[in-house]
């Protein structure tokens, strides 16, 4: 957490005012630029947004219910004195912080939307929806640069709150209601100076304006709601946090996969370890359905078009798009993946001392491969000219099989003493390597031709590797320490990490193209019972063809 000492500045603010509350945005940002020149909004606000996203999205009535008066006042005094505040270490109640944020905007010398524009903002309500958006774009463009930047980040943040309204009950309209009086008022330098009758008369109209700002932010600002927290990863890739979806799971999320319907619409399936499955629309982020599979402990899942295949302590089970059980193969299975062979996708599922292979067309068991004294923890297909499937087991062992015949080609003994938890094949330009993650907190990069370990990757803070994803010219690792790390596939160096929004182990992730938003998105699943959605931008990621 950043330390909030930046508002003291040389000489401090004008006498009689705090060092944050009551100052204009221009004054606050002038002071802040001396220590944080790359931050475009007040730092306490930036860290506050992160904190509430991390800990407060599931609180019913967040921003509507009042904080504890004494605690809110104490936070305000600390910030005005330039004291350090670590919201995590001090376990700040998100409700108190939410209340403090509204107070900050209410105490600005002039409202964020600038009171001289009050009549212009109110006047847009006489227009139709399209004209309202066009006029709002013009009015927002006329704001002071500092006001415009803060407004952009605020409505982006409020959009992240609203996407969880099924849990926190704060829809865009409800947020417009509670935030409106803090963002726009007529005359004077504070809400308290406005005639209360006039204030009440305009409250309903202001609510509609702020609601529209939240709902149509992408069109008003001509940008995606990426927030100012955009990570530039190396030279060729950028990542922006978009949304966090919380609540509803009974236990930790173990599996995530993508299913299609007959119209090529895509849906995110997630399964928690208790057997609960949730289905989410990948374009709108709206919840579609949830159901209990009654499968015992779910370990992982994969998909082939419109069917989900789930590996659990009870079976390998097959489910159709509607969430109906199609077929079940009894037995404990811990790993599963789809492999293209014999003119179809076949499902390889790992368990104790064997791999079971199923046809996705006939839904029948077609082959079993015995692996004595092993337990199969991870499986991946090697794409391209290779005809191999790599399998991770106990004690650092990796087995390589011919995907057509099932014959064993090679056994590799890595330096790992514990399990090979995940495998992925990454090909960038002409060179492809296998990346293997272990419980020993290490990643091994292996040449699939001569089977030598090219590089062993470790990081002092990295814990057990749950999954590895090949994205553009990078490989992303999902770790037990709530962090997604991004590795350059040529230098094998750590070039970025995403750690601000999950609070527990990141178990798995899927990359999907959002045809509605026209961008690639990574959905990450976590033990903290949440999904995070990240915008991924790279010249190497092109939109998929449409049919």
Instruction: In whole angstroms, give the CA distance from residue 336 to residue 357.
Output: 10
Q: Name the token pair of 178.
A: 């509670």
Contact 164, 175 (CB under 8 A): no
Q: Between the CA of residue 121 and those of 103, 117, 143, 265, 351, what are the distances in Å?
A: 22, 6, 12, 38, 63
pLDDT at 2: 37
Instruction: Look at residue 227 in the predicted model and tell me its pLDDT.
Output: 43
Backbone angles phi, psi at 264, to 5 degrees: 65, 20
pLDDT of residue 4: 37
- Residue 81 is encoded by which pair of tokens? 């004195």
Q: Which two tokens stand for residue 294?
A: 């009654």
Q: How confident is the model at residue 202 (pLDDT cuts 50, 70, 90)?
A: confident
pLDDT score of 187: 76
Helix/strand/coil for 409: strand
Which class for 140: exposed (0-12), middle (13-18), buried (19 or more C-beta within 10 A)?
buried
Both tokens of 7, joined, read 């508002």
The pLDDT, as a whole number, for residue 7 is: 45
State how far the alpha carbon of 353 is from the alpha carbons of 332, 333, 347, 369, 375, in Å: 11, 11, 17, 8, 5
The rounded distance, in Å, linking the Cα atoms of 229 and 503 is 17
Query: Which residues have C-beta within 8 Å of that of residue 248, sequence separation ≥ 6?
Result: 167, 278, 287, 290, 529
Closest Cα to residue 420, out of 446, 454, 450? 446
pLDDT for 233: 62
> What would the two tokens of residue 399 be?
């087995």
- Complete domains list, the chain, with CATH: 25-221 (1.10.555.10), 232-538 (2.130.10.10)
pLDDT in tens, 126-156: 999 999 999 999 999 999 999 999 999 999 9
Judged against a pLDDT cut of 60, whether residue 283 lies above it is answered with yes
Q: How far is CA 48 from the centre of its chain?
A: 17
Q: Are strands 530-538 and 474-479 parallel, antiparallel or unpaired?
A: unpaired
Direct distance between the N- and C-terminal alpha carbons of the chain, in angstroms, rounded to an integer: 47
What's the average model confidence in pLDDT over 281-309?
Answer: 95
CA distances, 117 to each of 133, 176, 423 (Å): 16, 18, 57
Tell me the percentage of the chain whose pLDDT exceeds 70: 92
Query: Can you give the pLDDT at residue 198?
Result: 59
Report the pLDDT value the prediction gives residue 263, as an integer from 0 to 100.
Answer: 78
The per-residue pLDDT for 203 is: 86
pLDDT level of residue 188 (50, 70, 90 thresholds): low
Q: What whole-number distance in Å separates Cα of residue 546 and Cα of residue 415?
A: 45
Q: How far apart are CA 321 and CA 426, in angstroms?
A: 29
CA 231 from centroid of its chain's CA atoms: 13
CB 479 within 8 A of CB 465: yes
- Assign 27 to helix, strand or coil: helix
| pLDDT, average across residues 377-395 | 92
Token pair belonging to 97: 């912080």
How large is the average pLDDT for residues 284-292?
A: 94
Q: What is the pLDDT of residue 249?
A: 94
Q: Which residue has the tokens 């350090």?
A: 84
Which of 59-68, 102-111, 229-238 is predicted least confidently?
Answer: 229-238
Contact 489, 454 (CB under 8 A): no
Q: Quick one: 8 exposed, middle or buried, by C-beta within 10 A (0-12, 13-18, 19+)? A: middle
For 465-509, the pLDDT digits (tens) are: 999 999 988 999 999 999 999 999 999 999 999 999 999 999 999
Residue pair 417/355 in contact by the 8 Å Cβ criterion: no
Q: Length of the chain in residues, anyone?
A: 547
Distance CA 218, CA 141 (A): 14
- Residue range 295-310: average pLDDT? 95
Which long-range contacts does 16-21 make (Cβ < 8 Å, 24+ apart)?
18/76, 18/79, 18/80, 19/79, 19/80, 19/81, 19/82, 20/44, 20/79, 20/80, 20/104, 21/76, 21/79, 21/80, 21/103, 21/104, 21/107
Tens of pLDDT along 339-385?
Answer: 999 999 999 999 999 999 999 999 999 999 999 999 999 999 998 77
Task: State the pLDDT at residue 234.
Answer: 58
Q: Tell me which residue of 169, 179, 226, 167 sits closest to 203, measured CA to CA.
A: 179
* pLDDT score of 261: 85
Q: Higher-confidence residue: 65 or 225?
A: 65
Structure tokens at 147: 């006001």
Average pLDDT of 15-42? 84
């Amino acid at each position: 957490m950043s330390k909030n000492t930046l508002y003291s500045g040389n000489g401090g603010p004008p006498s009689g005012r705090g060092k944050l509350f009551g100052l204009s945005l221009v004054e606050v940002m002038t002071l802040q630029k001396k220590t944080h020149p790359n931050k475009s909004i007040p730092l306490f606000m930036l860290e506050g947004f992160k904190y509430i996203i991390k800990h407060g999205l599931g609180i019913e009535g967040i921003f509507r219910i009042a904080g504890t008066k004494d605690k809110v006042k104490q936070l305000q005094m600390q910030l005005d004195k330039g004291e350090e505040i670590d919201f995590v270490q001090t376990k700040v109640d998100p409700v108190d912080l939410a209340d403090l944020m509204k107070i900050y905007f209410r105490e600005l010398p002039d409202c964020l939307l600038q009171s001289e524009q009050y009549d212009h903002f109110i006047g847009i309500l006489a227009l139709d929806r399209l004209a309202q958006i066009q006029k709002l774009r013009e009015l927002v463009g006329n704001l002071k640069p500092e006001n415009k930047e803060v407004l952009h980040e605020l409505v982006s943040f409020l959009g992240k709150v609203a996407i969880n309204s099924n849990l926190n009950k704060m829809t865009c309209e409800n947020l417009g209601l509670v935030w409106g009086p803090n963002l726009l008022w007529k005359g004077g330098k504070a809400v308290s100076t406005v005639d209360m009758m006039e204030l009440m008369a305009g409250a309903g109209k202001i609510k509609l304006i702020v609601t529209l700002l939240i709902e149509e932010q992408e069109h008003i600002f001509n940008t995606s709601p990426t927030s100012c927290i955009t990570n530039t990863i190396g030279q060729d890739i950028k990542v922006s946090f978009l949304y966090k979806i919380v609540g509803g799971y009974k236990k930790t999320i173990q599996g995530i996969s993508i299913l299609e319907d007959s119209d090529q619409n895509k849906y995110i399936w997630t399964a928690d370890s208790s057997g609960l499955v949730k289905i989410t629309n990948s374009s709108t982020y709206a919840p579609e359905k949830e159901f209990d599979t009654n499968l015992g402990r779910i370990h992982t899942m994969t998909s082939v078009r419109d069917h989900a295949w789930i590996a659990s302590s009870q079976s390998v089970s097959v489910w159709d798009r509607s969430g109906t059980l199609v077929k079940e193969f009894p037995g404990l299975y811990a790993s599963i993946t789809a492999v293209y062979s014999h003119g179809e996708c076949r499902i390889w599922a790992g368990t104790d001392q064997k791999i079971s292979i199923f046809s996705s067309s006939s839904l029948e068991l077609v082959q079993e491969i015995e692996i004595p004294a092993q337990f199969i923890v991870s499986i991946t297909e090697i794409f391209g000219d290779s005809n191999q499937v790599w399998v991770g087991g106990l004690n650092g062992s990796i087995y390589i099989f011919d995907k057509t015949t099932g014959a064993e080609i090679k056994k590799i003994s890595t330096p790992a003493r514990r399990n090979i938890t995940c495998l992925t094949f990454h090909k960038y330009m002409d060179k492809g390597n296998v990346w293997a993650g272990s419980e020993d907190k290490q990643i091994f990069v292996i040449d699939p031709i001569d089977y030598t370990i090219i590089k062993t990757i470790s990081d002092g803070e990295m814990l057990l590797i749950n999954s590895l994803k090949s994205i553009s010219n990078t490989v992303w690792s999902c770790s037990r320490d709530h962090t997604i790390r991004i590795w350059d596939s040529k230098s094998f160096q750590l070039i970025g990490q995403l750690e601000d929004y999950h609070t527990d182990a990141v178990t798995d992730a899927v990359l999907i193209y959002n045809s509605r938003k026209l961008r690639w998105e990574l959905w990450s699943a976590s033990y903290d019972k949440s999904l995070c959605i990240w915008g991924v931008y790279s010249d190497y990621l092109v939109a998929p063809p449409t049919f």
